[in-house]
Every structure is written in structure tokens, then in C-alpha cells.
């Protein structure tokens, strides 16, 4: 009986983790919006430390297409114009 409960908890945790990862991969804008709304709700509830951990990190503009030239993506995009 106890093993069935432990097994159910472990399987639920694994499936939940996979569902969250799939949501983040397939629907990034929705995932970001839900993360922001969750952080705002935690702030209103007075749980500011948890809200800061949940709040999404703003990506810096040093990736491809930002003009940095590290991947030569900006040079290729200028040639296509």
C-alpha cells in the first residue's frame, strides 16, 4: 500500500516536470506570461523572495542577430537584404 503511494507521487512529479519542460519548449511566450503572472501573484501575497526566484530572467542581446558578430549571423543577414 505504501509503495503504491510513493510510486504515484514519483510518477506524478516526473510527468509534471516533463509537462512544464514541454510547455516551455513548445509555447515560450505563454510560459513566460504565466511565469510573470505567477510572480506578480506571489508578490501580492507577500512572498517576495519566492516571487523573485520565479520571475523570468531578461535575456541580454548578445545572441545571434544582435549585431555582435560572434556567429557571423549579422553579416549573413545584411547580405540577404
Higher pLDDT, 46 or 76: 46
User: Where in the sequence is the domain holding 12, given as residue range(s)?
Assistant: 2-80
Task: Please indicate, yes or no, whether the overall pTM of this predicted structure exceeds 0.85.
Answer: no
How far is the CA of 64 from the CAs of 32, 72, 77, 79, in angstroms? 20, 8, 10, 15
Longest pairwise C-alpha distance within the chain: 67
Question: Does the structure show a pLDDT above 50 at 81?
Answer: no
Backbone phi, psi, residue 61, to 5°: -85, 50
Of 61, 53, 30, 55, nearest in space to 40 by CA = 55
pLDDT in tens, 18-61: 998 998 899 888 888 888 898 899 899 888 888 888 787 776 65
Structurally, the chain folds into a number of domains equal to 1
Look at residue 18 in the predicted model and tell me its pLDDT.
96
Look at residue 28 in the predicted model and tell me its pLDDT.
87
Amino acid at each position: 500500500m505504501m509503495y503504491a503511494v510513493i510510486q504515484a507521487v514519483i510518477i506524478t512529479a516526473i510527468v509534471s516536470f516533463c509537462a512544464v519542460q514541454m510547455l516551455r519548449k513548445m509555447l515560450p511566450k505563454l510560459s513566460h506570461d504565466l511565469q510573470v503572472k505567477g510572480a506578480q501573484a506571489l508578490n501580492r501575497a507577500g512572498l517576495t523572495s519566492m516571487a523573485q526566484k520565479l520571475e523570468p530572467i531578461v535575456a541580454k542581446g548578445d545572441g545571434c542577430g544582435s549585431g555582435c558578430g560572434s556567429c557571423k549571423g549579422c553579416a549573413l543577414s545584411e547580405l540577404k537584404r
